[in-house]
Structure formats: structure tokens, C-alpha cells
């Protein structure tokens, strides 16, 4: 059976992440795209996930390690802000702070994916992808 490719890979990634957390999975398999890999790397750097790695370069998936099985997740909520039908762009001075710095907002900028704090310090605006806490 062929799996239909989603036109919005970020929403598909977030849905798999939420479902994996709710099912208390240790790992999930995510479709391999440059955007998904960058997002997983950012979540790893910010300590929201335990790891991300490719099993084989030939496969269309990579593995995201959520944490120990049965352990409490570090991600409590993840919300998609910009959608393919309604893009949300923001200037560097208007980037929101999530829960007084406890959460983070992810932006797609001209220099790649970065957190709101990094974009603010580099004076970069961009497309608001999501907020996580």
C-alpha cells in the first residue's frame, strides 16, 4: 500500500510528534525532508527531544527519539502558526515571547530555521512556523 505524501510536511511532523507523545513511544519515524530534519535538529538543540538520526541515507524516513518509554514528555504543547493557506510573517521586533521564555517560537528565516530569541538577536524576521512549550 502506498502512503500518500502530505503537502504540509511540518503539520504531518507535528501530528506524528503529538501522537508519539500521547502513545508514550520512545521513538517515531518521520518522513525525510530538509525542513523536517532542520526542525528535528532545532528541537534536539533546545532539549525538547532526545535525539534524531538517519538509519540509512537510502530510506525516506529518519528516527526521532522522544525519550524514555513511559517517561513524561518535555513537549507539553506544539501549535502550528503559519499554514500553506495562510502564511504568517513577522518582523524581528514583533517576535512573541512564549511563557516568558519557557517556551519557544520557531521561525523560518533567510538564514534557516531558528528560535525567536536567535532571530531577535540577529534582527531577522521571517515566517512563524510554530510555538512549543
Q: Which candidate, 99, 103, 119, places its Cα nearest to that of 111? A: 119
Q: Which candidate, 57, 55, 52, places its Cα nearest to that of 17? A: 52
Pick the CATH number of 78-132 from 3.40.50.300, 3.30.1490.10, 1.10.10.10, 3.90.1150.10: 3.30.1490.10
Predicted pLDDT of residue 77: 92
Predicted pLDDT of residue 100: 83
Cα–Cα distance measured from residue 44 to residue 56, given in angstroms and rounded to the nearest whole number: 20
Q: Which candidate, 18, 69, 9, places its Cα nearest to that of 37? A: 9
Contact 60, 31 (CB under 8 A): yes
Q: Which candidate, 50, 109, 106, 38, places its Cα nearest to that of 78? A: 106
Predicted pLDDT of residue 8: 85
Q: Tens place of pLDDT for every residue, the chain, 133 residues?
A: 445 556 788 999 999 999 999 999 999 999 999 999 999 999 999 999 999 999 887 888 999 999 876 677 889 999 999 999 999 999 999 999 988 878 999 999 999 999 999 999 999 999 999 999 9
| Domain covering 9-65, topology | Ribosomal Protein S8; Chain: A, domain 1 (3.30.1370)
Amino acid at each position: 500500500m502506498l502512503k500518500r505524501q502530505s503537502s504540509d510536511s511540518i503539520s504531518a511532523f507535528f501530528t506524528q510528534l503529538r501522537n508519539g507523545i500521547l502513545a508514550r513511544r520512545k521513538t517515531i519515524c518521520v518522513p525525510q525532508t530538509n525542513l523536517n530534519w532542520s526542525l528535528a535538529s532545532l528541537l534536539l538543540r533546545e532539549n525538547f527531544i532526545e535525539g534524531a538520526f538517519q538509519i540509512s541515507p537510502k530510506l525516506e524516513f529518519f528516527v526521532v527519539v522522544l525519550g524514555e518509554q513511559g517517561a513524561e514528555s518535555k513537549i507539553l504543547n506544539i501549535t502550528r502558526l503559519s499554514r500553506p493557506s495562510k502564511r504568517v510573517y513577522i518582523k524581528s521586533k514583533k517576535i512573541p515571547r512564549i511563557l516568558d521564555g519557557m517556551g519557544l517560537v520557531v521561525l523560518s528565516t533567510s538564514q534557516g530555521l531558528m528560535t525567536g530569541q536567535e532571530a531577535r538577536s540577529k534582527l531577522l524576521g521571517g515566517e512563524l512556523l510554530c510555538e512549543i512549550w
